[in-house]
């Protein structure tokens, strides 16, 4: 049995981590059996980040390496795509994982309006002495990581413009199709749902979420379609 190690649900979505939600959505799209193991502290993960899986005694970390490994076992959600379709899927996945996900992180952890919602949601149940320093420490680590990555050096308005461009690109690429994979989902749909559900369906209010809901009705409909098809 495949075991998926990930954060618990939060913000009204199955997982507040785009990467955990991506892997679990992929497993559901593929119809694979799995067991979820909740982890609260990512420092216990093999690479210090979630998700990771256990499969046939092997421990595999990182959403992309997990999906690549699962594909190698014979379940390929991208089998219906030609080379250009697979390349397009990879570009969509990289946009979601490497650009939109850090933008979500910024508006949750660094921007004050996000932090006043993130802090109680993630740390509200911590014992009182830990409340004093753990949330601030993790927020500072996140701020430093985003500065090192580069996006954390920009103003909120500049970041929001990046987000708008990303969402416009996703909306244009989706067009009238049900999925990024066309009539049936592909791996890029799992990556897209991981970030889009966290932007559009999450109860936490962020400027990206407000913008996405107002300006990108096709992406809102996409999230609702995937939620009812794979998460109802």
Ligand X SMILES: N[C@@H](CCC(=O)N[C@@H](CS)C(=O)NCC(=O)O)C(=O)O
Q: What residue ranges bind ligand X (CB under 6 A)?
A: 17-19, 42, 48-51, 62-64, 97
Kindly tell me which of 101 and 212 has the beta carbon lying closer to ligand X: 101
| Minimum CB distance to ligand X, residue 4 (Å) | 12
Instruction: Specify the residue, 42 or 156, whose C-beta has the smaller distance to ligand X.
Output: 42
* Nearer Cβ to ligand X (7/222): 7
Rg (the chain; Cα; Å): 17
Report whether the peptide linkage leading into residue 51 is cis, meaning its omega lies within 30 degrees of zero: yes
Assess contact for 21 and 193: CB atoms under 8 A: yes
CB of 62 to ligand X, least distance (A): 4
Q: Considering beta carbons, is residue 97 or 219 the nearer one to ligand X?
A: 97
Shortest distance (Å) from residue 49 CB to ligand X: 3
CB of 218 to ligand X, least distance (A): 25
Query: Measured from the CB atom, is 51 or 185 closer to ligand X?
Result: 51
How many C-beta neighbours within 10 Å does residue 38 have? 11
Residue 17 or 25 with smaller CB distance to ligand X = 17
CA 201, 4, 124: angle at the middle one, nearest 5? 55
223 in Cβ contact with 212 (< 8 Å) = no
| In the complex, least distance from residue 50 CB atom to ligand X, rounded to whole angstroms | 4
State the minimum distance, in angstroms, from the CB of residue 90 to ligand X: 14
Cα 212 from Cα 67, distance rounded (Å) = 27
User: Cβ distance 155 to 145 under 8 Å?
Assistant: no
For the range 44-51, what are the long-range contacts, defined as Cβ-Cβ under 8 Å and sequence gap of 24 or more? 45/5, 49/19, 50/5, 50/6, 50/7, 50/17, 50/19, 50/20, 51/4, 51/5, 51/6, 51/17, 51/19, 51/20, 51/23, 51/24
């Amino acid at each position: 049995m495949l075991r998926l190690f990930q954060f618990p649900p939060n913000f009204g979505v199955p997982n507040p981590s785009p990467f955990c939600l991506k892997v679990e959505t992929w497993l559901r799209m593929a119809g694979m059996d799995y067991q979820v193991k909740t982890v609260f502290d990512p420092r216990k993960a093999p690479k210090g980040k979630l998700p990771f899986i256990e499969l046939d005694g092997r421990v595999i970390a990182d959403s992309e390496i997990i999906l690549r490994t699962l594909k190698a076992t014979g379940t390929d959600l991208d089998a219906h795509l030609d080379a250009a379709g697979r390349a397009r899927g990879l570009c969509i996945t990289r946009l979601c994982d490497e650009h939109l996900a850090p933008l979500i992180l910024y508006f949750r952890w660094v921007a004050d309006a996000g932090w006043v919602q993130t802090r109680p949601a993630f740390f509200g149940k911590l014992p009182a002495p830990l409340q004093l320093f753990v949330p601030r420490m993790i927020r500072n680590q996140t701020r430093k990581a985003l500065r090192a990555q580069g996006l954390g050096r920009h103003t909120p308005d500049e970041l929001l413009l990046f987000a708008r461009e990303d969402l416009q690109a996703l909306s244009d690429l989706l067009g009238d199709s049900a999925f990024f994979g066309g009539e049936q989902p592909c791996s890029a749909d799992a990556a897209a749902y991981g970030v889009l559900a966290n932007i559009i369906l999450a109860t936490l209010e962020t400027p990206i979420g407000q913008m996405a809901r107002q300006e990108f009705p096709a992406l809102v409909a996409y999230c609702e379609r995937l939620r009812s098809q794979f998460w109802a």
